Amino acid sequence: MNLLALIFVAILANNIVLSQFLGICPYLGLSRKLETSVGMGLAVVFVMTMSAIVTWIIDLFLLQPFSLEYLRTIAFILIIAGLVQFVEMVLKKTNPALFRALGIYLPLITTNCTILGVAILNVQSQHNIVETIVYSIATGVGFTLAMVLMAGIRERLELATMSSYLKGAAVTLVSAGILSLAFMGFKGMVAL
């Protein structure tokens, strides 16, 4: 039951974008088209899960035993950047079609603060490896859900008639705020 609650909280009640406000740059910048949002979301799920596992292992077996917890942030940044580069090289050699499909998303993920945020949240919450994997996947799904919802809203807004003062960034930010308020309704449903 605890894992189901963790999944619910990560996707809806404590959404990484709409409640914790991590990953706002790709959320606002890449949510113009549905296809772009889905591609970025799937790439984030994969890299987030892989980096959370690696950072959890490094923290447990290297940083904590030698009392190097103060190096977590820099170590996690280096691990994430290295992991993204490694995944990019492996995909380029083994699966060129998938590499082309992910395109620019892999390098963009290196600077996506949700990846680092989830790695740090897993360690701070003292999740075990199963909880780390489940939380990372669910958080990635929550990120993808937020991206897809915003892309759908923005595609519909392009067809809407509105004042020139409201078009563009203004209506996007208002929509993001309303979507964030809608997700706040899930906050009281599960307590962890």
pLDDT given for residue 71 in this prediction? 96
- Residue type for position 124: Q
Q: How much of the chain, in percent, has pLDDT values that exceed 70?
A: 98
The pTM of this model reads 0.90
How do residues 62-118 score in pLDDT, each as one tens digit?
999 999 999 999 999 999 999 888 888 888 888 787 778 777 777 778 788 999 999
Domain count, the chain: 1
Residue 108: give the domain boundaries: 2-189
By CB atoms closer than 10 A (0-12, 13-18, 19+), residue 147 is buried
Tens-digit pLDDT profile for residues 80-91: 999 888 888 888
What tokens were used for 62? 């290297």
pLDDT value of residue 110: 79
Residue labelled with tokens 């790439």: 43
